[in-house]
Structure 1
Amino acid sequence: MKKQQYQRLNETIYEETLDNGLQVFVLPKKGFRQTYVNFTTRYGSIDSEFIVPRRQERIKVPDGIAHFLEHKMFEEEHGDVFMEFAKTGASANAFTTFDTTTYLFSSTVEVERNLEILLNFVQNPYFTDENVEKEKGIIGQEIKMYEDNPNWRVYFGLLQGLYGDYPVAIDIAGTIDSIAKITKETLYDCYYTFYHPSNMALFVVGDVDPARILHLVQANQSAKGYEAQAPIERFYPELPKQIARKRTESTLDISQPRVLFGFREQHIEPKPTARQKREAAMEVWMDCLFGRSSQHYQKLIDDGLTDQGFGSEYELTHLYGHSIFGGNSKRPEELILRVQNLLLEYADKGIDEADFLRSKKKAIGRFMALLDSPQGIANVYVSQKLRGLDVLTSLDVLQNLDLHDVNQTLREHVVDNTMAISLISPEKGK
């Protein structure tokens, strides 16, 4: 195995790419009781149009199918996979994002047995007409639940304002109408396209022997006889030049309004390392202005414009990028105006150096804390690796960040015509 040492972190990642293309990463953590393993494919909700390698046919599949497929993988011909994990006391789960699907388990005992279970069920699809139809009812209920969730509704309302019909603005679970079009044949097309080992990564973190883990995975994979697969051809529509709409509003049975607003990136950095630096700069200035220890965060609460749930976040990939601000507010219009004016003020004058240094230290502290979380480091490491980044280099990126980088990023990002608002208000009479 290749050995990547991070001297300043006192960490070592062992890495191997198997003959079938599967990337295996092991991070030994001596003395950790819990071992955490995830098995991730670079396939998410935005991957709806692609060429099926087995027959070289370009197809477009229904929205929500990546999430649907994630659900179906836990059902096998002879039972439910969760029961297999439960026998060893392991906890298993899965999740789908815009660009990845991850299957995982955590356990304190019988790690190797659980690892075999994970590899085998993810690489053994079982779809029938009957179990696909049954799942439509289950996921249909989940979709309805999300439709009544104010956090989910206001979030996708904002994405729809920022991106219009671009895939990132489409609900990960799809719609009742879209999942109705899913068949076992389309599920198999997606599975055999995106679940090939060459499109996947396995990450193991805990008190484990890297050589022993690699030997187990190699034996497991060599017995399955995967044939080589060419890189997947995916198709995405062109990112709209302008945001779709400035404002999205709806009502729901809630006690007070909830509002989110944010800015869409005008230019997407093509180099992963440039995106990593931009993410670090965004994290620092957003914390400077609206982190929980900032004066502006407390003033928003003291003035009754929001509550302690107010927050901000940033997401950037090779396809899209945006910031999000907001929370609950009985006076949402005032909250939007206050935050917007603060952003424009600081975009003009820049962040104070003392605030910059404080927030930079906090960001470094958050990163160091991540290394002590098996679940956190596994999920972040793999998702970033599949985007071409090494998260364990983040310490160097943060420490090399200067005030000029942060202020330049703030000025570039806060542009009025790239801002959208999503507001959910209580239904009349509530």
Structure 2
Amino acid sequence: MIKPEIIRKDFPSGFKAQVIRRKGFNQRFFGIIVDFGSADPQPVPGLAHFLEHKLFAAEEGDLSLEFEKMGASVNAFTSFNETMYYASGVKNVGPMIDLLFKLVGQPYFTDENVAKEIPIIQQELAMYQDEPDWILGDRLLRGIYGDCNLAIDVAGTRESIASVTKEKLQAAYDENYVAARMSFVACGDFTDNQVKTILRQARKLSDQYLRPGKPQKEADLVPFLPSGQDWNLIGGEVPLFTAAIPLPNFKKVLASRDMSQILLEIMLESKLGAASHWFARARQAGLISQPLQISVTYTRQGAYAVLLGMSSEAEVLLDQIKAELAPDKLFSKKQEMEMRQLFEIHKRSWLAQTVRSLDNLSGFAVEMAEESLDEEDLFANVEQMQAMNFADYRAYCQELCEGASINTARLLEEDDQ
């Protein structure tokens, strides 16, 4: 795997910048990531996401229109522990960077524009709440983590959104949008002089717009509520089910949480994915027709795996999943050959996907921006994965799953009661 040239700078203010050189690409991508997301402490749930919306507002109007005028596209997202603003285009590199720093560094909160945004975000949340998988996921996370921010939708709740004021936004902005919690990334085909110019511009603009402040603290893990529970929800039109597995040992096993996430996803795919013997048997028995959706999420506040599927025999299938993931069966002797083979297959697949991801300019730039906050190293993980043998993989997965429990939820039609 050929590592792209990456030029990094850490400025005295704590602000970080990196330029990733990708030869042959016409598109240029620029982003600013903030070490603050929906699961982090804030006056009301959803305030980080509300900030993401309102930073596009300026006294002269919507800043997204200014990006459009220069032929650039702009967007943003909020996740559990970060918020990112990014723009891409072919021309107007300097003005695009100027405008991006203005977007994150010059807030414009008024009673009027905050009040106008409240129903917009409430409607956005309502759209998600109508989705069956959202209903199941909300029930599970609240059942595991209670009413903490980790269990609440990134957008917050209808009530918390309605309680947002310009004062709350300003307080959250002042605490979190500081130089030491922010990082800039540029990705594209840049000359040596362009790289130097971009880094000088990033330093000048960060000094102009961003105040000093302290880096984000590592949070304590959110304590679990009584776990290993099963919930049945009424009113489903499709027989969806989901299982959530909180992972209390996640922070303790490997220095790289990205690597822990990768190994657990490989293990779950090997046990329950489309290529597994378990899935073949379940499909042959008519219990399931489509592969499970499998993901592992980690945050400062906690980590968990989620399995999502559809089956008219969900209760039977969930019992089978629990049995398959029981500690004594996770890497049983009977399944060792299959698990070895699937580890090698998924390992090669992950390595190939990682190589291909380098050609997705925006996706790769976002990944590198996230790593700048999390102190991760994609290329070190590639080397570690290439060298990893089955015995180490098995030991890591067993330790990562220690103390985990399985919580489930399924949607039932009313006549299924």
Common fold: TM-score over 0.5: yes
Shift of 1:398: 0.9
* Cα distance change of structure 1 residues 299 and 32 upon mapping to structure 2, 3 Å threshold: farther
Matched, 1:369 2:352: no
Matched, 1:9 2:8: no
The one of 384, 388, 401 equivalent to 1:397 is 384
Shift of 1:361: 0.9
Structure 1 residue matching 2:306: 3-state secondary structure: strand
Shift of 1:416: 8.2
Amino acid at match of 1:228: P
* Cα distance change of structure 1 residues 80 and 45 upon mapping to structure 2, 3 Å threshold: same
* Cα distance change of structure 1 residues 91 and 428 upon mapping to structure 2, 3 Å threshold: farther
Question: Mind listing any 5+ residue stretches in structure 2 that lack a counterpart?
Answer: none
Structure-2 residue corresponding to 1:347: 331
The one of 204, 211, 214 equivalent to 1:219 is 204
* CA distance in structure 2 between the partners assigned to 1:212 and 1:299 by the alignment: 59
The one of 10, 22, 27 equivalent to 2:20 is 27
Shift of 1:245: 5.9
* Cα distance change of structure 1 residues 94 and 276 upon mapping to structure 2, 3 Å threshold: closer
Shift of 1:161: 2.7
Amino acid at match of 1:246: Q
TM-score by length of 2: 0.89
* CA distance in structure 2 between the partners assigned to 1:412 and 1:272 by the alignment: 10
Structure 1 residue matching 2:94: 3-state secondary structure: helix
Amino acid at match of 1:205: C
Structure-1 residue corresponding to 2:229: 246
8 Å contact kept, 1:280–1:397:
no
* CA distance in structure 1 between the partners assigned to 2:216 and 2:269 by the alignment: 38
Identity %: 28
How do 1:310-321 and structure 2 match up within 5 A?
310-321=292-303
Amino acid at match of 1:347: F
8 Å contact kept, 1:291–1:297:
yes
Question: Mind listing any 5+ residue stretches in structure 1 that lack a counterpart?
Answer: 1-7, 50-60
TM-score by length of 1: 0.87
* Cα distance change of structure 1 residues 307 and 108 upon mapping to structure 2, 3 Å threshold: farther
Structure-1 residue corresponding to 2:129: 147
Structure-1 residue corresponding to 2:305: 323
Structure 1 residue matching 2:325: 3-state secondary structure: helix
Structure-2 residue corresponding to 1:111: 93
* CA distance in structure 2 between the partners assigned to 1:180 and 1:402 by the alignment: 52
8 Å contact kept, 2:79–2:154:
yes
Structure-2 residue corresponding to 1:58: none
Shift of 1:419: 1.0
Structure-1 residue corresponding to 2:183: 201
How do 1:400-411 and structure 2 match up within 5 A?
400-411=387-398
Matched, 1:380 2:367: yes
* Cα distance change of structure 1 residues 271 and 190 upon mapping to structure 2, 3 Å threshold: farther
* CA distance in structure 2 between the partners assigned to 1:194 and 1:23 by the alignment: 15
How do 1:224-243 and structure 2 match up within 5 A?
224=209, 226-232=210-216, 239-241=222-224, 243=226
Amino acid at match of 1:388: E
Q: How many residues align?
A: 408
Structure 2 residue matching 1:98: 3-state secondary structure: coil
* CA distance in structure 2 between the partners assigned to 1:115 and 1:335 by the alignment: 52
* CA distance in structure 2 between the partners assigned to 1:217 and 1:423 by the alignment: 49
* CA distance in structure 1 between the partners assigned to 2:219 and 2:261 by the alignment: 25
* CA distance in structure 2 between the partners assigned to 1:90 and 1:272 by the alignment: 40
Structure 1 residue matching 2:332: 3-state secondary structure: helix
Amino acid at match of 1:21: G
Shift of 1:301: 4.1
* Cα distance change of structure 1 residues 222 and 43 upon mapping to structure 2, 3 Å threshold: closer
Structure 1 residue matching 2:251: 3-state secondary structure: coil
Amino acid at match of 2:309: G
Comparing 159-168 with 371-380, greater Cα deviation is found at 159-168
* Cα distance change of structure 1 residues 144 and 193 upon mapping to structure 2, 3 Å threshold: same
* CA distance in structure 1 between the partners assigned to 2:232 and 2:89 by the alignment: 44
CA-based RMSD of the aligned residues comes to: 2.5
Task: Note the alpha carbon deviations across 1:171-218, whole angstroms, 9 max, x for none.
Answer: 111111112221101100111111112210111111123222112222
Task: Note the alpha carbon deviations across 1:61-90, whole angstroms, 9 max, x for none.
Answer: 011111111111111111111111111232
* CA distance in structure 1 between the partners assigned to 2:254 and 2:78 by the alignment: 22
Amino acid at match of 1:211: K
* Cα distance change of structure 1 residues 385 and 179 upon mapping to structure 2, 3 Å threshold: same
Amino acid at match of 2:233: S
